[in-house]
Amino acid sequence: MGKTETYIDVAIHALNKKGEELCGDQADLFKSEDEVFFVMADGLGSGVKANILATLTVKIAMTMLRHGESLEETIDTIMQTLPVCSVRKVAYSTFCMVHLKNDGRCRLIEYHNPPVFFCSNGRITPYISTYETYGDKEVRISELELGIGDYLTIVSDGAVHAGVGTMLNHGWEWPHIAAFLNRQQPKSAELISKTLIETCNNLYGGLPGDDTSVATLMLVEPKVTRLFSGPPVQREQDHEVAARFVQGSVKRVVCGGTAANLMARELNRELRCEMDYYEPSIPPIAHIKGIDLVTEGVLTLKRVSERLEDYAAGQIISFGKPDAATLLLNLLINDSTHIEFWIGKAINPAHQNPDFPFELSIKQNILDRIIATLRKIGKIVMIQYV
């Protein structure tokens, strides 16, 4: 793959079995600058017991991996720890573990889960595996090589059982899901996982008969978004900040009326405001040549923060509306791997008492929440105060 810089895009979605408050599937992710460890576990049955068993599996795996234990030691510990159901003679939790590096090298560990979907060059592709035994339990081990645009999609049993006995005689079987994925032209891991989980939910008629989880890990080229909010403390810095902001091959977002007026003035470009409210509580967008998105400040960012937190908690959110918050949310989640926040530290008296420190400002608190959530979902975030 040469020296091309790459990024691992990850998206996870889940549905609880109808009538259950807790999901019997669990997934966890540890992401560093160079690699990703991912674990998905499916506890036997559903509800509280399944949730506890799946959580136990995931926590053992991620704790050991994050502390530098080898995959072999981690698998052995899990297999020695998990009990076996005395009636069904199967382990109380199945699991899949992925160790994917930024250069595309990947090790895949599978134990009784539906086979992982490996998309290479736009097609679901079979892969060669070996089988090893740990604690009298056999696991499948595969070594893969991913290129730019290739991805892995991991599903729990609920996906291949979707629609069984209702819309489909035998459920949405593995070959059917593979054919479905082959018809997609995904731009991001989020679009793959979201489309797949929504289709599962539709096949269940909105009443999932089993806990259902979908996770996608995609190798992509970095996509940088640069977001500017608030003017610099010193007005004499305005021109320099605006000139630097428009440099480079990045997506550019300006949030806030003062920030937008600064950009238009210093770049000598027209600021054109739309008048249509697509969402009553969210002010319309504006336009500046060379800027990809121009929005109002605090109200829009607050809505973005709320919906971003919903997304991080596993809720499926819609990107269909053309309001400012949805457009920004779509850009941050689906079309960005790295986000640069350029935050002006000038105090806006409309938002707070100018005698209060900047760190206590409404805008800064909202931005802090957005930044924390973006990092939680695996985005690389950089902050520059001006």
CATH number at residue 202: 3.60.40.10
User: What pLDDT is stored for residue 88 in this prediction?
Assistant: 57
- Do 160 and 259 reside in the same domain of the chain? no
- Do 49 and 139 reside in the same domain of the chain? yes
- Is 331 inside a domain boundary? yes
User: What pLDDT is stored for residue 162 in this prediction?
Assistant: 92
Task: Give me the half-sphere count of Cα atoms (radius 13 Å) on the Cβ side of residue 354.
Answer: 6
- Do 209 and 290 reside in the same domain of the chain? no
The answer to whether the Cα torsion of 39, 40, 45, 50 is positive or negative is: positive
Rounded to 10°, the helix 189-203/324-334 angle is 110
- Is 1 inside a domain boundary? no
Strand intervals (E) in the chain: 7-15, 25-31, 35-43, 93-101, 105-111, 117-120, 123-124, 129-134, 137-145, 151-155, 212-220, 224-229, 251-255, 271-273, 286-288, 293-295, 338-343, 380-385
Torsion of CA 81, 82, 83, 89, to 10 degrees: -140
pLDDT interval class at 2 (50, 70, 90): very low
Q: What is residue 360's three-state secondary structure?
A: helix
**pLDDT tens, position by position, 254-281:** 999 999 999 999 999 999 999 988 888 9
Specify the pTM: 0.82
- Do 147 and 275 reside in the same domain of the chain? no
- Is 154 inside a domain boundary? yes
User: What pLDDT is stored for residue 79 in this prediction?
Assistant: 77
Most confidently modeled of 4-18, 36-50, 294-308?
Answer: 294-308
Give the count of domains, the chain: 2
CA pair distance 343, 227, nearest whole angstrom: 8
364 neighbors 347 (Cβ within 8 angstroms) = no
- Do 202 and 272 reside in the same domain of the chain? no
251-255 and 271-273 beta bridge pairing:
unpaired
pLDDT interval class at 223 (50, 70, 90): very high
Provide the token pair at 357.
Answer: 């420190």
Give the domain extent around 368.
224-385
- Is 2 inside a domain boundary? no
Which of 170, 197, 220 is where one domain is finished?
220
Mean pLDDT of 212-238: 93
- Is 127 inside a domain boundary? yes
